[in-house]
Amino acid sequence: MSENEEIFKELPEDLRNRFLEIFKDFGNIEEFENIKGKSIIDLMAVIMKESLKFFQDKQKLREFLNIVPDLILNYDKLIINSYKVDKEHYLEITNMLRNGYQIHKDKTIEICNSYISALQTKYPIQKITYNILLFRDFAPNLYEVMENTPINEFEEKVSSLLYDMIKNNKEDQFRYYFFDWALKFGYLIEAYFKEFLISQLKLMCLLKNEDFNKIADSNKTIGQLLKTLKKENTLATLRNAIFHTSFIIDYHIDFDKRKIIFKDWKGKTKNLDINEFVGRYFKIFQLVQTEHFALSFFIIKIYGEQLKFLLQNQIDSILQMFENADIPESLSTNDSLDKFTEELKKILKSGIGIE
């Protein structure tokens, strides 16, 4: 199975075959092979060039747009094996939702909708990490890596530079960065992870035929929720220490000894070295993202036919527009590609605050 086929292996067979057939001739293979030794920005430029050629082929475009609704409705199958989600957690949530739906459809839908509505009132999750001060200051380095590092070395280079930046911080700067990061970690736990725990407890009550309202008042905090759900309570300690400013950033010249000490109200401590802290943050971020995907796609599947009908109407309008539109061949010339690359660089620089 090729790399492209591997990505789409979870899709329904007919949809997978239609997609691969449409894109079997996409791009010059030799050009894509050569680009592997170049940068992400170079790759973006080549993809844009090949995409413009694709959009000039109205038959191919028509075939692709016609499968877009099915691709959207099956997006969960595209991400199930990706870094975006924890697969085991995703399947666990989906299984609970299915069981709840069999017992009481309306209540299960209500639980999902309540969760989704609650998240819409929070600070956008995708902006939390971007706004961590350490990452904002790291942005110029990130752009330089994107511009100059071969794709197959990109991930390792970014990790190495980021950790070098953390290790080389002087004490005041180190405290400044991790005080800010800890606050945002606390928000991620309280605003996002807690909402899922509430939804999970509602589902558990539904499956056990118990009244959630009778235990709601005694399950208002992270600690109480984790205890009721019989989960490890480290996150409660971290959250409470952060929100009550009971945490200490312990700086040492030796990086491996640097840690953050979280104290609960009883004076018990939970120590995380910096590697553990960073790892836990990104793991919780992944779990929260997984929960959002799982509950959202469960609702999408329930209303799949109605959503597909609405999407198809939109696609039909787009197709009608493209039928009467011509994309100039000049858009895929080398001069056009060079101009695009320069504009892309400007946009990236502006987006990460370099210009």
pLDDT digit string, tens, across residues 138-148: 888 887 888 78
- Is residue 330 one of the residues assigned to a domain? no
Task: Kindly state the tokens that stand for 7.
Answer: 């990505």
pLDDT band for position 8 (cuts 50, 70, 90): confident
Classified as helix, coil or strand, 249 is strand
Give the residue with greater pLDDT, 35 vs 107. Answer: 107
Q: Which amino acid is at 310?
A: L
- What is the percentage of the chain residues whose pLDDT exceeds 90? 49
In the 8-state DSSP scheme, what is residue 120?
T
What is the spatial distance between Cα 244 and Cα 222, in angstroms, rounded to a whole number?
A: 14
| Average pLDDT value for residue range 258-275 | 91
pLDDT of residue 249: 96
Residue 94 sits in which domain range?
A: 57-324
Residue range 26-76, pLDDT digits in tens: 655 455 555 556 677 777 766 666 666 676 777 888 888 888 899 889 989
pLDDT band for position 1 (cuts 50, 70, 90): very low
| Average pLDDT value for residue range 96-118 | 96
| Average pLDDT value for residue range 158-174 | 90
Place of tokens 């736990």: 189
pLDDT band for position 171 (cuts 50, 70, 90): very high
pLDDT band for position 267 (cuts 50, 70, 90): confident
In the 8-state DSSP scheme, what is residue 38?
S
pLDDT band for position 287 (cuts 50, 70, 90): very high
- The answer to whether 9 touches 1, Cβ cutoff 8 Å, is yes
- Is residue 5 one of the residues assigned to a domain? no
Q: Considering its fold, how many domains does the chain have in total? A: 1
Give the residue with greater pLDDT, 298 vs 23. Answer: 298
E strand or H helix at 269, and its extent? strand 269-273
How far is C-alpha 236 from the geometric centre of its chain's CA atoms?
23
Is the pLDDT reported for residue 351 higher than 70? Answer: no
pLDDT of residue 189: 96
In the 8-state DSSP scheme, what is residue 74?
T
Q: What value does the mean pLDDT of the chain take?
A: 85
Residue range 196-228, pLDDT digits in tens: 999 999 999 999 999 999 999 999 999 999 999
Instruction: List, edge to edge, every strand of the sheet that includes 259-263.
Output: 247-250, 259-263, 269-273
Q: Taking Cα atoms as reference points, which of 110, 126, 170 lies closest to residue 302? A: 110
- Is residue 344 one of the residues assigned to a domain? no
- Is residue 340 one of the residues assigned to a domain? no
Residue range 328-348, pLDDT digits in tens: 655 555 666 667 667 666 665
Cα dihedral 197, 203, 207, 210 in deg (nearest 10): 80
- The answer to whether 251 touches 192, Cβ cutoff 8 Å, is no
pLDDT of residue 29: 47
- Is residue 95 one of the residues assigned to a domain? yes
In the 8-state DSSP scheme, what is residue 244?
T
pTM: 0.84
E strand or H helix at 332, and its extent? none
Q: What angle do CA 304, 309, 310 make, to 5 degrees?
A: 100
Is the pLDDT reported for residue 92 higher than 70? Answer: yes
How far is C-alpha 230 from the geometric centre of its chain's CA atoms?
27
List C-alpha distances in Å: 282 to 159, 167, 199, 246, 286. Answer: 13, 18, 22, 22, 6
List C-alpha distances in Å: 310 to 17, 141, 319. Answer: 24, 43, 14
Task: Kindly state the tokens that stand for 246.
Answer: 């009971």
List C-alpha distances in Å: 99 to 27, 156, 207, 220, 319. Answer: 45, 41, 7, 25, 40
pLDDT of residue 230: 92
- The answer to whether 125 touches 289, Cβ cutoff 8 Å, is yes
- Is residue 275 one of the residues assigned to a domain? yes
Sorted by sequence, the CB contacts under 8 Å of residue 348 that are 6+ apart come out as 41, 143, 146
- Is residue 1 one of the residues assigned to a domain? no
- Is residue 277 one of the residues assigned to a domain? yes
